[in-house]
Structure 1
Amino acid sequence: MSKVRRAAHAGSWYSDNEDDLRNQLGTWLGKVKASHLPARAIIAPHAGYSYCGACSAYAYRQIDPTSVKRIFILGPSHHVRLSGCALSTAERYQTPLYDLPIDTKVYEELYSCASFESMSLDTDQDEHSLEMQLPYIAMVMESRRGEFSVVPVLVGSLSPEKEQYYGNVFSRYLTDPDNLFIISSDFCHWGRRFHYTYFDKSCGEICQSIAALDRMAIETVRRNGNGYKLNMKFLKYAQSSECTSASDSSVSYAAGVLLIQ
């Protein structure tokens, strides 16, 4: 039997009932226009779906399943110290909809670089940044079920030099129109529980100060993502709650899409 990474956050971060999950994702996707097809890469948040599911739909709606054979999922490590990137030891990723096979051929190619570690199955199942993308992938790719694979990559705290190195490794896959990249990322985490409470009072309320910070980050990503034949756009921004006092907290979300002309 193949080694399966179970859907460890199903039933808590999102519904573990197939029909309920399908209806929820379908409702969110149905409210968004497919205005930027076909995405070559998207940025989508990784919080519980009750907080960020509607925002994620803006990114996932830009995927054309007919042009995708392989999906790279890059998510930050929340629970283990990692100075590079790590690959899964599983062969399939479980979702309440159906299982997603891991592309072992691409994994072999990445391991040949001698710069990728292996993460334990426990680390893999603990990590929500990868898992929260899986149900949406299964939903938007259902017409190609059994005809595509995934390439999960856990990303650590990279030095600028390592960022450039891994960027070069993945760039050759990004140029292939058969591949889609999903960058799993939240934006500003504000509040005492996150040990970050910067507040620029000139912006107005705390939530407006947070939004100003996020706009700076979004603009940096957009500017760096635009270039020769590259077009980076952000389609939706949201906050988990509107902070107005020092006792509040929030996480910011943004949905982005990269097109290659």
Structure 2
Amino acid sequence: MPRRRATHAGDWYSGSRNQLDGELTKWLSHAETPVTSARAIISPHAGLVYCGQTGAHGFKSINPATTRRIIVLGPSHKKYLSGCALSKCSKFETPLYDLVTDSETVAQLYKSELFTDFDVYDDENEHSLEMQYPYIAKVMQGYKDNFKIVSIIVGDVSLDHAKKYAKVLEPLLADPHTVFVVSSDFCHWGSRFSYCNVNGETNIPIWQAITNLDKLGMDTIESLNSVAFQSYLSKTSNTICGRRPILLLLATVEEHSARNPNSKSKFSFLHYSQSSKCMRPSDSSVSYASGVLTIS
């Protein structure tokens, strides 16, 4: 199996080991989180100069001492994909050190016959999963020989389809030594994104209307209701690029609750930011949010 190169290093984030380590250390030190045992996080995937501080809140919530497997779910931006695919790579390069694939879990997922292959060319072109790898490497630095990852690229997935995947993914979520990392930015606003919706709020600054639109979506995600989240997307068409990975997570949490009625799942958003504050219709911005799932 091939090694995936860190194709976005030196552009979307520093390719220097020392510089990257220093930046990640700084962002993590400034992050405040009430959670230290995340079972899943939602994390942004823009250039780290824009979203590194927001992402730190989710990653700081992971307990590296108890984590043995990390499942990374990211959307496919450049290649149309029906359903979900698994990376064909055995290792994933980062400037800190290589992450290693959990080949046993990958083999088990293939047995479900729900997953296809994501070839190396398309994998290296896609940034949504790669942007999680530096933070994973940093957080797990002291335990780098104790964990492995599974990279899942999420394409066009309906709610009914998500529920089928949820039945396969639920045993992984139920494992207290497994953490899901869901890669998603939030609203992409402006004419260059073909999205200028302010959800009817024309009497406040555009950036505030975007915030309210995103907060409504975040509240819906916190309800852990996949139908409600799908309804929110249908009503607002909010350009949340990781909406399908998020939908997959929500369906998996619902499956877990159905199988474990005494279990309590809670999702909380910890940090929100925007790349810039839009004041005029000609402006544009991308929103970032970091949230954490706990299960007790």
Query: Per the shorter chain, which TM-score range?
Result: over 0.9
Runs of 4+, deviation exceeding 6 Å = none
- Change beyond 3 A, Cα 1:125–1:216: same
In 1, Cα distance between equivalents of 2:171 and 2:144: 25
Q: Which amino acid in structure 1 is aligned with residue 120 of structure 2? A: L
1:147 CA displacement: 1.4
What is the CA distance between 1:34 and its match in structure 2? Answer: 4.2
Distance apart, 1:160 and its partner CA: 1.4
- 1:236 alignment partner in structure 2: 271
The question of 1:12 aligning with 2:11 is answered yes
Cα distance in 1 for partners of 2:285, 2:106 equals: 36
* AA in 1 matched with 2:279: T
CA distance in 2 between counterparts of 1:203 and 1:196 reads 18
The 8 Å contact of residues 44 and 183 in structure 1, kept in 2 or not, is answered as yes
Q: Which residue of 2 aligns with 1:53?
A: 52
Cα deviations by residue, 1:216-239 (Å, 9 ceiling, x for unpaired)? 110110001697411111100001
SS, match of residue 133 in structure 1: helix
Given residue 28 of structure 2, which amino acid in structure 1 is its aligned partner? L
Helix, strand or coil at the partner of 2:207: helix
1:187 lines up with 2:186 in the alignment: yes
Q: CA deviation at 1:203?
A: 5.2
RMSD between aligned alpha carbons? 1.2
| SS, match of residue 151 in structure 1 | strand
Unaligned segments of structure 2, at least 5 residues: 225-249, 258-262
Q: Say yes or no: does 1:127 pair with 2:105.
A: no
Q: Which residue of 2 aligns with 1:259?
A: 294
Change beyond 3 A, Cα 1:203–1:19: farther
Partner of 2:217: 217
Q: Which residue of 2 aligns with 1:205?
A: 205
Kept in 1, the 8 Å contact 2:31–2:53? The answer is no
Cα distance in 2, alignment partners of residues 17 and 202 from structure 1: 45
Give distance in 1, aligned partners of 2:156 and 2:193: 17
Equivalent residues, number: 260
Q: Is the 8 A contact 1:203 1:212 kept in 2?
A: no
What SS class does the counterpart of residue 162 from structure 1 fall into?
A: helix
Sequence identity percentage: 44
Q: Is the 8 A contact 1:240 1:250 kept in 2?
A: yes
Shift of 1:145: 1.0
SS at match of 1:154: strand
For residues 218 and 157 of structure 1, the distance between their equivalents in structure 2, rounded to whole angstroms, comes to 21
TM-score calculated relative to the size of structure 2: 0.86
TM-score w.r.t. length of structure 1: 0.97
